[in-house]
Amino acid sequence: MNWQKELWAASKVAAPDFPRRGSDDGTIQAQRNNRASFVAGLRAASEASMPGYYSVYSFPWGHPKDGNIPSVDCIFIDFDVLGTKYDPNSGETEFDDWKREMSALLARARMIASALIEKGADKHFRVALSGHKGVHLYFDFPNIHPEQGKFQQFKNGLKSYGEDLVEWLNSLAGGVDITPWVDVDGSDLARLARHPNTRHHGAAYDDVDRWCVPLTVAELADCHVEDYLDHTASPRPMRSEMERSPNERAGKEVVQKIRVASTSSSSSPGNVSRYDPKAVENYKKRANDDIELEDLLDPLIMGNKPCVQAFREREDAYDYGQESRMMELSIMGFFIEKEVPIDVMHEFFEPIPGYDEETTQEMLEDLIGRQFRSFNCESIAGGYDKNGDPMKGRAERFCLGSECGVYKRFDDIQLH
């Protein structure tokens, strides 16, 4: 494969206009006024073991360091491993540790990608695998003209929009918190990213020449650790699904965020994760080892939740996207509240067609780490909000309705 040709093709999508910044064999970023010098610099960086960075935005009106607004046309979201065990900066570079951490990251990335496809929003996102320990998402919208606000309004408005976007993606993950793995700062108007189809010289988990590569959202929805290794072993050709498809409505929302944003700088903190990495080990120690699979199926022991057993018996339990995910998470939360051993929970879900041990383990650990609890029938079936208005459930098809004693006893639970 001619990687220089693939680099050129990738640059036409990642860097559609100029001037913008890019790496070469002597510097991390220097101004490039055309595609030829831009690609030549990235090629030289790759051959000289330099990182292949580029500026996410172009700078037709001057660089942000001089107070100029760039040509804003996307939000860049960087998903990265937690680094609790695999941390090249501290010398911790064992392959098994990398696999473990990357597995956790990809489990969440797959959930998001699948939900984007289900909602028909995938065409507005671009994906790249960093080649080392990350996944990059770009959410595209039309270019925002600098007349829409002042410099600080752009910074504050884009920061706010980026946080809203992550919150939306978090909700798409079906209750599995993604924020510990996310780095997004829309206020960084000079943000650099690793350019697709450039070498990643920093990959320390094996001796293979690794690459930052483009991916489709559909490929990300089915990307496991072995796929990550396969994809990043060489440059990848661009495909039509990898091209930009700006979201017009999102562009209008971004403009509105900028227009109403403050003109003063803000030091307010971003999202703070509630995830406790020690909680899983603590849970394993306190879990009730006397509980076995048979106990989970006994209503006298686990309580009257017939929909839990019914979910396990359905051949199509995992076929309904977010509804399936919400029901599964609710069942997990119910078991966690009862301090069911993790291996017994796996035994419960294992017979269901579509069960994936890796994904289930990651979801369980995430819920335990965030102290997710309780099975809320109203969130599953529906009910009424604080104003008494009907509220649609998030997994209605899995509620047994009048076949369930709990449903018949409580008027607040109501299928609509």
Mean pLDDT by groups of 10 residues along the chain of 416 residues: 92 98 93 97 94 96 94 96 82 89 90 91 97 96 95 94 89 72 88 95 87 97 96 96 96 93 64 63 91 85 80 92 83 89 95 89 83 67 66 81 69 57
Residue for token digits 């997990």?
A: 332
How far, in Å, CA of 52 to CA of 211, rounded? 10
Would you say 69 and 189 are in contact if contact means Cβ atoms under 8 Å apart? Answer: yes
How far, in Å, CA of 56 to CA of 187, rounded? 13
Residue for token digits 């098994």?
A: 96
Residue for token digits 């996310």?
A: 182
Give the CB-side neighbour count of residue 339, counting CA atoms within 13 A.
11
Q: Residue 350 corresponds to which amino acid?
A: E
How far, in Å, CA of 311 to CA of 309, rounded? 5
Picking from 264, 370, 355, 351, the residue whose alpha carbon sits closest to that of residue 313 is 351
Picking from 280, 393, 330, 316, the residue whose alpha carbon sits closest to that of residue 176 is 330
At residue 71, what are phi and psi to the nearest 5 degrees?
Answer: -85, 95
Residue 189 makes CB contacts below 8 A (sequence gap 6+) with 57, 64, 69, 70, 72, 154, 155, 158
Give the CB-side neighbour count of residue 162, counting CA atoms within 13 A.
26
Is the whole-model pTM more than 0.85? no
How far, in Å, CA of 76 to CA of 185, rounded? 8
Q: Where are the alpha helices (DSSP H) in 28-120?
A: 35-47, 95-119
pLDDT score of 272? 38
Residues in the chain: 416
SS3 (DSSP) at 348: helix
Residue for token digits 């450039």?
A: 198
